[in-house]
Amino acid sequence: MESQANITDIVNNFPGLPPFPDDVSTAPLLRLSLGKLLAEDIHEFERLFQASVEIGFFYLDLEGSQHGTSLLRDADELFKVGERLFQLSLEEKKKYDFSAQNSYFGYKGQGAAVVDQQGNLDRNEFYNISKDDIMGVSEPLPAPEVLHQSRKQTESFMKGSHAIVELILKILNDKLSLPEGTLSNLHRLKAVSGDQVRFIKAPPQPADDRRTALGQHTDFGSVTVLFNRLGGLQVLPPGAEAEWVYVRPLPGHAIINLGDAMVKFTNGLFRSNIHRVAAPPGIQGDSTRYSLVYFARPEDNVMLRRLEGSDLIPPIEEDQVEEAINSKDWIIRRALGRRVDLVKNVDYDKSAGTEQMSRRIKV
Ligand SMILES: O=C(O)CCC(=O)C(=O)O
Ligand SMILES: [Fe+2]
């Protein structure tokens, strides 16, 4: 992996927010450029492939291309929407908790999910907006006025993020020498899928009781486009001896990571790295943390199994059994399986993803 020297030359902190401390360990993620990927820079394609195999997380520099700067503008607007959304009363927000209908769209209150095997509860709120709702592929869900008013911005952010996902999938498809369009045909913008935008708010935690706000997990889908501004996101690099390290937020960048579906499609060639959200480090811990995420997932009926057609994808081993599960069922199991308000006795392991495979520890 590259050293972090290449990020010291950019503006490291977000205006109006306390700085990320210099004395905590950070993940040396590759910093890729959207402009270079769009210009078909083959060295940049190679780095994307490398990041997908080695850790499954990287920064994407969005400055310097029109697509990137317009996505950054949309993200800025939606950060403001997220603040207004979470300011609504709890009573109002709870009207949009659709989990009882087996849906992971809408509101999730703080403390609704367990974050570890000990049963500790999460410390953040979510609001998930369905791509299909915004794109007119499904019936619109009830939503608070602030979200009705920002539908156009949400649509623009979704399209911009989805286009980045498509670009990444196309490059990885070519790198794997899969038949043209294999990956993008499983992620069509107008097909029914669990793609969503997520707003997250984590309030400051008491100084003497700072814990995990969002439990360790791998993302469920294919490609995640994440915007955050305060530290707190941590990744667990591969290997038995690995320790949690922070991902330092960088202005002008998205953090991109691969999810379980990409691990399954490539039978473990690509990684879906384990990550979690801890309290923001140092003086950042006194501020409210917001994130904005676009999760791209395979279309609902896509089976999550090894793809045929690439010599680079390892074959299924003799003692390996592939579970027959489609994208929709996988996501519901993972998204709702750790909800204490829905499941009587949460079986933490039953709703696990590809963590074991991603840790690259042979058992
Ligand atoms: O808030 C963040 O930085 C990460 C959130 C995350 O990992 C998720 O929502 O899956
Ligand atoms: Fe995540």
Over residues 164-176, the pLDDT tens digits come to: 999 999 999 999 9
Euclidean distance between CA atoms 14 and 20, whole angstroms:
9
pLDDT band at 355 (very low <50, low <70, confident <90, very high): confident
In a domain? residue 350: no
In a domain? residue 358: no
**Ligand with minimal distance to 123 CA:** 1
Q: Please, what is the Cα angle at 267 between 161 and 326, to 5 degrees? A: 65
The answer to whether residue 33 scores a pLDDT higher than 50 is yes
Q: Do 85 and 199 contact (CB within 8 A), yes or no? A: yes
Average pLDDT for the chain:
91
Question: 233 C-alpha to center of ligand 1: Å?
Answer: 7
Question: 97 C-alpha to center of ligand 2: Å?
Answer: 20
In a domain? residue 195: yes
What's the domain count of the chain?
1
pLDDT band at 1 (very low <50, low <70, confident <90, very high): very low
Each residue's pLDDT tens digit, 244-254: 999 999 999 99
Q: Please, what is the Cα angle at 328 between 141 and 158, to 5 degrees? A: 55
In a domain? residue 34: yes
Question: 217 C-alpha to center of ligand 2: Å?
Answer: 6
Question: 218 C-alpha to center of ligand 2: Å?
Answer: 6
Which backbone phi and psi does 130 adopt, to 5 degrees? -75, 130
In a domain? residue 271: yes
Give the CA radius of gyration of the chain: 19
- Indicate if ligand 1 lies below 6 Å from the C-beta of 277: yes
pLDDT at 254: 98
pLDDT at 77: 98
**Ligand with minimal distance to 202 CA:** 1
Euclidean distance between CA atoms 287 and 285, whole angstroms:
6
pLDDT at 6: 47
Euclidean distance between CA atoms 288 and 199, whole angstroms:
13
- Indicate if ligand 1 lies below 6 Å from the C-beta of 291: yes
Measured from the CA of 200, which atom of ligand 1 is nearest?
A: 1
Tell the residue nearest (CA) to atom 4 of ligand 1: 233
Euclidean distance between CA atoms 199 and 193, whole angstroms:
19
Q: Is 16 left (phi over 0), alpha (psi -120 to 50) or beta?
A: left
DSSP string across 106-156:
EEE-TT-BB-STT-PBP--EEEEEEHHHHTTSSPPPP--HHHHHTHHHHHH
Q: Please, what is the Cα angle at 243 between 241 and 245, to 5 degrees? A: 150
Question: 309 C-alpha to center of ligand 1: Å?
Answer: 33
- Indicate if ligand 1 lies below 6 Å from the C-beta of 293: yes
- Indicate if ligand 1 lies below 6 Å from the C-beta of 108: no
Q: Do 232 and 327 contact (CB within 8 A), yes or no? A: no
CATH number at residue 320: 2.60.120.330
Each residue's pLDDT tens digit, 293-352: 999 999 999 999 999 999 999 999 988 888 889 999 998 888 776 666 766 676 767 667
pLDDT band at 9 (very low <50, low <70, confident <90, very high): very low
Nearest to 30 by CA among 56, 51, 5: 51
Each residue's pLDDT tens digit, 283-304: 999 999 999 999 999 999 999 9
CA neighbours closer than 13 Å in the CB half-sphere of residue 72: 18
Residue 177 structural domain: 4-336
Ligand 1 pocket test target in 124, 126, 197, 214 with most atoms within 8 Å of CB: 214
Question: 234 C-alpha to center of ligand 2: Å?
Answer: 10
In a domain? residue 355: no
DSSP helix/strand/coil, 34: helix
- Indicate if ligand 1 lies below 6 Å from the C-beta of 29: no
Structure tokens belonging to residue 151: 């539908």
Question: 268 C-alpha to center of ligand 1: Å?
Answer: 22
Structure tokens belonging to residue 161: 């993020």
In a domain? residue 343: no
pLDDT at 346: 67
Q: Which residues contact 67 (CB under 8 A, 6 or more apart)?
A: 34, 38, 160, 163, 164
Measured from the CA of 247, which atom of ligand 1 is nearest?
A: 3
pLDDT at 348: 66
In a domain? residue 22: yes
ipTM of the complex: 0.98
